[in-house]
Amino acid sequence: IDWKDRQFWMTVTPIVEVAYPGAVMYYFWTFYRQPFGATLCITGLLVGKWITIVFAWYWWANFPMNFMMPTTMVASALILDCTLLLTRTWIITAIIGVWAFAMMFGPTNYALFGYSHQPLVVDGQLLSLADFMGFTYVRTGTPEYIRIIEVGSLRTFGGHTVWIS
């Protein structure tokens, strides 16, 4: 499924999403000494993502649900909270916990997106399931499509580029 920017989503998403849990962790750890701020924050972000997916994409735009699955970062947040609980220091949590937060992003999301790499034969053509879904539902609002239009070319289903301007 390539509804995200294929080049940068594995690196940018953990970096951007660690800022919110850091702020919530600071509040809960400073005032209450409770190390569950990251898990609470990521769970709240995940609920917000699912609300957006259901209302904006599934009900309004009528896209299939398996195109819009949000990335899960609950396992990463649990590791971040456990690092703070075991070390009780911000510096080690910032070094080790945030590193583990980012490193768990790929393995935990493979369960969600791994099925799309299955081979599929459609009309004698061997495709991955993600390619077949992309050919069936053309997503014109994706960053890849917008970049192609800004360059002045349009990619066809055959994989070639057609100049439009």
pLDDT (tens digit per residue) in 136-157: 766 655 555 555 555 554 555 5
Based on the domain organization, do 51 and 131 belong to the same domain?
no
Query: Is the entire prediction scored with pTM above 0.95?
Result: no
Q: How confident is residue 1, by pLDDT bands cut at 50, 70 and 90? A: very low
Q: How confident is residue 6, by pLDDT bands cut at 50, 70 and 90? A: low
Total domains in the chain come to 2
Give how far Cα 38 sits from Cα of 28, 31, 65, 103, 148, Å. Answer: 9, 15, 26, 16, 37
> Can you give the residue range of the structural domain that contains 158?
118-165
Would you state the pLDDT for residue 95?
A: 94
Cβ neighbours of 19 (radius 10 Å):
9
DSSP 54: I
Rounded mean pLDDT of 59-82?
A: 82
Based on the domain organization, do 106 and 137 belong to the same domain?
no
Based on the domain organization, do 113 and 138 belong to the same domain?
no
- Alpha helices of the chain — where are they, by DSSP H? 9-17, 19-32, 37-52, 74-87, 90-92, 98-103, 105-113, 129-136, 143-151
